[in-house]
Amino acid sequence: MKMKNRAILSLGSNLGDRLMNLHTAMKLLTADTGELTINSSVYETEPWGLKEQPDFLNMVVGIETELSPQQLLSEIKYIEDELLREKSIRWGSRSIDIDILFFNDLVINSDILTIPHPEIANRRFVLVPLAEIFPDLIHPVLKKPVNSLLVNCSDPSEVKLFEQQKIIV
């Protein structure tokens, strides 16, 4: 019997039907990677990095999976391709963006994958939904709980509640 791993993912969309893109991504994640165990509310946020683009909808989900981090990354790239993600401009518009924030308490630094995601502590649009469902989770590198990272985040971006938490899948 394979061990179940806990992965925490960030989902974002700012093209097309943003909410439908998030819901579809969650369904594909459940079908392709494992069991969705929890999801945050959906938040609307201004773009990070490149400002001249539509606002994003963002959320965080927790999944249980038998996949390795590398296998999970491959499945995520497949899902992004299925939802026609175009990644031509860094921080540009996209129908879906899925990032692995945490995978168990692993720390991975490779050419293709960095876990925990290196920008977690700098992005309010990740920290707000993350703190909603995992406030006491300790960042394995920074050694601080998520709610503390949120309090100390210098990102001035506004994060507005768009849709209250509910399990969609």
Q: What percent of the chain has pLDDT over 90?
A: 78
- In the DSSP assignment, the letter for residue 148 is H
Listed by start position, the domains of the chain span: 5-163
- pTM of the predicted model, to two decimals? 0.90
Q: The domain 5-163: what is its CATH number?
A: 3.30.70.560
Residue 91 CA to residue 100 CA, distance in Å, equals: 16
- Give catalytic residue positions: 85, 94, 97, 99
Residue pLDDT, tens place only, 110-153: 999 999 999 999 999 999 999 999 999 999 999 999 999 999 99
Strand ranges (E), the chain = 5-13, 34-39, 42-45, 56-65, 97-103, 108-109, 114-115, 159-163
Secondary structure letter of residue 67 according to DSSP: S
The Cα 157–Cα 13 span in angstroms is: 16
pLDDT (0 to 100) of residue 134: 97
- 71: tokens are 């296998």
Is the pLDDT at 87 greater than 70, yes or no? no
